[in-house]
Structure 1
Amino acid sequence: MSPLLAVSLLFKALAIPLLARIAWTDFKTQKISNRDVLLLFCLGVGSLQLMSVQAGSWWDMGLSAIAGLLLFVVLFPLWALRKLGAGDVKLMAVMPFVIGGSGLAAFSIMLLLFALATAAVMKYPFLLPEGAFRVYIQHLDRKGVVPFGVPISAAAICAIAFQIYAILMAATSSGALQQLI
């Protein structure tokens, strides 16, 4: 495994706890800070640049830029109509940089599954066990707020974990990881 690939995987691994923090703060406060989104963007772009240099192709970087811009343009009117929060729009626009163009299909499928699960929990909170979590979900339902940063972050964490696993398995099977150790 080359040092560029190792540092790229490190950047992806550092994005996981940041995504968990974003999900937690969005769940508790319904806010996603610009600082966290900007840091996530920097980690994603850094990882993509290292992978592009390693591969010798900038296709993934270009695809991520186009997808990020497209997501921002499509989701911005939903923010203007107050159907989606500004933090959610910015977080979704950054996701193609974090995931990379090649992982967007898997991310989209996982996002759909997590969004459906979130909608089900918000729609039917009485199915949850008794306790503070259920009361909080009912409170969010009454306010008409859905912390969409939670399913976005969960889907991104799963997609990143899958990418790291796939790269490490490929490096292990080729013997490149053994040479590094």
Structure 2
Amino acid sequence: MTQLRYLNGYPATIITQVQSLFDQGKLGLWLEKKYPDPHAIQSDKSLYQFVGELKQRYLKNAPALSKVMFDNKQNPIKGTLGTNTFVSRVQGGKLKANNEIRIATLFREGPEDFLRMIVVHELAHLKEKDHNKAFYQLCCHMEPDYHQLEFDMRVWLNWREIKQS
């Protein structure tokens, strides 16, 4: 039996279903059928445009983003798939603020739906710093299937890790 580390906290019945698909060799096929198309967002510039479009659509009044990039230091094993960093510093007589979003490089390979889910998560942090009810309501406003995509992304992470080992 394989350890499905990214599904910790989910009900045992769901973990059993995913484990069953894996044991039957059908998990990869299920994921490929549900998320068949790769995306074309491969550069930091295209990621910045992708994030900017979502921000403009849903969070027009949120602080501007100074940098958006893929980051190979983001690691799901360490618990980070993306980060939102807010830095304030005094420069001369002015207060300068920078907002950066960094997305794990592994999402270059994944389905666009998973990339969008991570981006929505990080954008929601512009308005809500904590993972509270308002945060998840904002995520669901920007991406109605947010919770399903998060679960499927966790399944994909397990499948990807098992496939590589």
Fold shared, TM-score > 0.5 on shorter chain: no
Normalising to structure 1: TM-score of the pair? 0.25
Structure of greater relative contact order (alpha carbons < 8 Å, 6+ residues apart): 1
- Report the TM-score, using the length of structure 2 for normalisation: 0.26
**Larger helix share, 1 or 2:** 1
Structure with the bigger percentage of strand: 2
